[in-house]
Homo-oligomer: A and B are copies of this chain.
Amino acid sequence: MKTIIYDQTMDLDKILKRNEDVRDDIRNAVLEIIKGVKTDGDAALLYYTKALDHCELTHLQVTEEEIQEAFDSVSESLLEIIREAAGNIRSFHEKQLETTWTYEPKPGVVLGQHITPIERVGLYVPGGKATYPSTVLMDSIPALVAGVQSLVMVTPPGKDGKVNPAILAAAKIAGVHEIYKIGGAQAIAALAYGTETIKPVNKIVGPGNIYVATAKKEVFGKVDIDMIAGPSEVLIIADKNANPVYAAADLLSQAEHDEMAMPIFVTTSEDLAKQVIEKVYRQINEDLGRKEIAKKSMDDFGFVFIVKDLDEAFELSNKIAPEHLELLIENPMDSLEKVRNAGAIFMGAYTPEPLGDYFAGPNHTLPTSGTAKFSSPLGVYDFIKKSSILSYDQNSLKNVYEKIAAFARSEGLDAHAKAVERRFEN
């Protein structure tokens, strides 16, 4: 880990090696795949699955029998934990439900906002080493709470043509409607444009590798997408009384995700900082399952910032806009108003990040790479849309139509003016 004395003029994006550029070779490969799927439909999906996933499929949709078989292969104790987590996730997201409202600003005038769910949504679930049933729950439950009628999951098959059983079990528990064995840019193209087997969706959510992310950006506009996910990050703000063992363990839970995951520790105490660094490397060497990944992440992307007080810690954190923010300080809830940019805020010594990753209820699909400056956790609000409601009676329009006509003519829009005037011509 690199230790840095914070100074408010430093270029944090450079220090953190954040980079948003899309590589041209990747983009060209993705455009080729999208074109293939638009032209050849299912045949292209089978072709790319053979070429890229090394798997020869005969059918794309996962059958009820395959789902049941996978479900039966998962231990009852894990199923019970998944069910309890799903219940917590559902309860939290139900708090985000919005309903249609109208009001009467004046007699004869009704204005409002009509809420409807998005009809058909695609959910990308990565395969390989980053196959997480918890992500299936986190991405599907808000859509289902919102009222999405068709929730379609896609995930790449293994070479044996099978999908990870825990993924299928989580999808069954959540209530996903359709599942297809395709991944990569070809899956995103299929969801956006449709094929013989897969009907097109209105929105695509879920994390994926750089090909998936690039494909999502390309199809944006034809469909909506969620924010493009980068490497995972945690930023811990700790005062001098924080427990260095907990802090080190939480930094490592971030670091084990992948070699580009970013664990950041911010503290007012140089002494604590030294202890945390020492504990991090000790814990890595004790018995950590993914020790190589965690060590590389810590070495290359682990940062310790020394700040002069907590206000400066929050200033730094707001500039970085971390995906996960842990507050290992006294009375953390009192500092809520100081947080301006963060995906999720974990308050105090007994709210470690894995609690939010798996169980508590709030979403674990969060804005990464500083995008918390303008985006939010995945939520029910991502799966609904609004329509404005306007209703004026004759008298109400009569009172204002000349103003509307004058405003329209000032913009040179004569037919707009006439549309209101013709109502009162005689």
Q: Is the CB of A289 within 8 A of B336?
A: no
Would you call the interface of chain A mostly helix, strand, loop, or mixed? mixed
Cβ contact within 8 Å between B423 and A391: no
In the complex the two chains form, is B404's CB within 8 Å of A355's CB? Answer: yes
Residues of B within 8 A of A81 (CB): 403, 406-407
Chain A residues 234 to 293 lying within 8 A of chain B, measured CB to CB, are 245-246, 249-250, 252-253, 255-257, 283, 288-290
A351, B392: Cβ atoms under 8 Å?
Answer: yes
Q: Besides A114-B339, A358-B416, 9 other CB < 8 A contacts?
A: A92-B111, A132-B411, A133-B411, A289-B412, A346-B391, A348-B392, A358-B404, A360-B392, A366-B388
User: Using an 8 Å CB-CB cutoff, how does the interface string of A220-242 with B read, 1 for contact, 0 for none?
Assistant: 11111001100000000000000
A364 to chain B, nearest CB (A): 9
The 6 closest A-B CB pairs, nearest first, are: A289-B414, A362-B388, A347-B391, A344-B388, A376-B386, A224-B374
Which range holds the interface residue count of chain A? 35 or more
A156 proximal to B (CB < 8 A): no
Contact A392 B355 (CB under 8 A): yes
Binds B, one of A39-47, A99-107, A183-191, A306-314: A99-107
Taking the complex as formed, is A119 at the interface, i.e. its CB lies under 8 A from any CB of chain B? yes
Q: Which of B221, B377, B391, B396 contacts A387 (CB 8 A)?
A: B377
Residue A85 is within 8 A (CB to CB) of chain B in the complex: yes
Q: Does any Cβ of B come within 8 Å of A14's Cβ?
A: no
Chain B nearest Cβ from A383, distance in angstroms? 9
- Other-chain residue from B228, B257, B325 in contact with A221 (beta carbon distance below 8 A): B228
**What is the distance, in angstroms, from A159's C-beta to the closest C-beta of chain B?**
19
Give the contacts of A301-351 with B (CB-CB under 8 A): 325, 332-333, 336, 339-351
Partner of A246, one of B252, B366, B412, B422: B422
Within 8 Å by CB of A377, from B110, B353, B388, lies B388
Query: B residues within 8 A CB of A181?
Result: none
Q: Mind listing 10 A-B residue pairs with CB under 8 Å?
A: A116-B340, A118-B374, A132-B411, A253-B413, A347-B389, A351-B392, A355-B404, A357-B416, A359-B407, A375-B385
| A419:B253 contact, CB within 8 angstroms | yes
Separation in Å of the A400 CB from the closest CB of chain B?
Answer: 6
Interface contact B359-A223, CB-CB below 8 Å: no
In the complex, what distance in Å separates the CA atom of A102 from the CA atom of B261? Answer: 30
Q: In the bound complex, how far is the Cα of B389 from the Cα of A363, in angstroms?
A: 10
Q: For residue A408, which residues in chain B have a CB less than 8 angstroms away from its CB?
A: 354, 357-358
- Looking at the assembled complex, report how far the CB atom of A208 sits from the nearest CB atom of chain B, in whole angstroms: 14
A161 is an interface residue with CB less than 8 A from chain B: no
Minimum Cβ distance to chain B for residue A193 (Å) = 10
Given contacts A81-B403, A381-B381, A422-B245, contact A256 B415 (CB under 8 A): yes
- What residue in chain B is nearest A381 (Cβ atoms)? B381
